[in-house]
């Protein structure tokens, strides 16, 4: 399935369907393919929006979680979206959290899956010499419970990024920014209903991270998915969409209180 890539000013994004906005933020090595199952499922009920985050296009000074949050803020204001259901995977979840802490007014709910912001194991403490494709393959496989999910196309995408010196410098800058930007003391300020969908076999943001988000975010619910790593929306899309559909349905039609 291919989607029209829209341009509005300096923003590049996908927008499919009608209804309350469901805005998806990808992670450090994320791509449109990460969200295709979400787009297909929710375009029937929501306006599904995927902005292309300038992970490797910002100047080095602004290559940070804060810099990405400001980009998302400008995008939301430029497009004038309201009542947004904000969803982020990995670094995208971290950016979503910083955004809702700074700009809660337009956000109706948050969904986090494998989010950084408290703790994460990155690609590794050091990068190999450029050109070490097997290293990249092994690290990409660690994203998933099933290593076969690390297809040749996906490995090639990551390899292309890590084979460019300036891109590697920016990836390291983003990873260090995520580690420095720990949100543990601020999460109790979040008022929006929050859905946490976590892989039981996530080795990058392990299950205890999901439990800690659940403990710290007041109005949150936690769902674990078995045989699933760091990207549930890719690895177990039907289960992910079922959980998210239930969460959003409860916001539209809250159960009657007795």
What is the pLDDT at residue 256?
Answer: 47
What is the pLDDT at residue 171?
Answer: 87
- DSSP E strand stretches across 154-249: 194-199, 220-225
- Cβ atoms of 155 and 136 within 8 Å: the answer is yes
CA distances from residue 127 to 27, 91, 102, 161, 245 in whole angstroms, order as listed: 18, 19, 33, 12, 39
What is the pLDDT at residue 119?
Answer: 84
> Within 13 A of 62's CA, how many CA atoms are on the CB side?
10
Q: Which of 22, 71, 84 is nearest to 233 (CA)?
A: 22
> Tokens 């003391």 identify what position?
185
Domains plus CATH for the chain?
A: 6-121+183-251 (3.40.50.1820)
pTM of the model: 0.92
What is the pLDDT at residue 257?
Answer: 43
Collapsing DSSP states into helix, strand and coil, what is residue 220? strand
Dihedral sign of CA atoms 135, 140, 146, 152 in order: negative
Report residues of the chain scoring pLDDT below 70: 1, 121-131, 255-258
What is the pLDDT at residue 254?
Answer: 76
CA 228 to chain centre: 16
Q: Which of 94, 96, 91 is nearest to 49 (CA)?
A: 96
């Amino acid at each position: 399935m291919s989607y029209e890539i829209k341009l509005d000013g300096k923003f590049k994004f996908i927008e499919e369907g009608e209804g309350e906005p469901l805005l998806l933020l990808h992670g450090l090595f994320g791509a449109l393919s990460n969200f295709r199952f979400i787009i297909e499922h929710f375009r029937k009920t929501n306006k599904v929006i995927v902005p292309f985050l300038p992970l490797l296009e910002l100047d080095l000074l602004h290559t940070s979680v804060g810099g990405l949050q400001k980009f998302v803020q400008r995008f939301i204001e430029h497009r004038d979206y309201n009542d947004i259901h904000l969803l982020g995977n990995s670094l995208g979840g971290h950016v979503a959290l910083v955004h809702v802490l700074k700009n809660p007014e337009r956000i109706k709910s948050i969904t986090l899956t494998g989010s950084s912001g408290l703790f994460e194991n990155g690609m590794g403490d050091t990068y190999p010499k450029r050109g070490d494709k097997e290293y990249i393959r092994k690290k990409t496989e660690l994203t998933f419970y099933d290593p076969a999910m690390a297809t040749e196309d996906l490995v090639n995408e990551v390899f292309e990024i890590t084979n460019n010196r300036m891109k590697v410098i920016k990836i390291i800058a983003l990873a260090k920014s995520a580690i420095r930007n720990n949100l543990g003391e601020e999460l109790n300020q979040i008022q929006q209903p929050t859905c946490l969908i976590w892989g039981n076999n996530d080795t990058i943001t392990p299950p205890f991270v999901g439990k800690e988000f659940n403990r710290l975010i007041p109005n949150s619910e936690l769902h674990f998915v078995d045989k699933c790593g760091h990207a549930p929306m890719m690895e177990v899309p039907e289960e992910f969409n079922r959980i998210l559909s239930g969460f959003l349905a409860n916001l539209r039609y809250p159960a009657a209180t007795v």
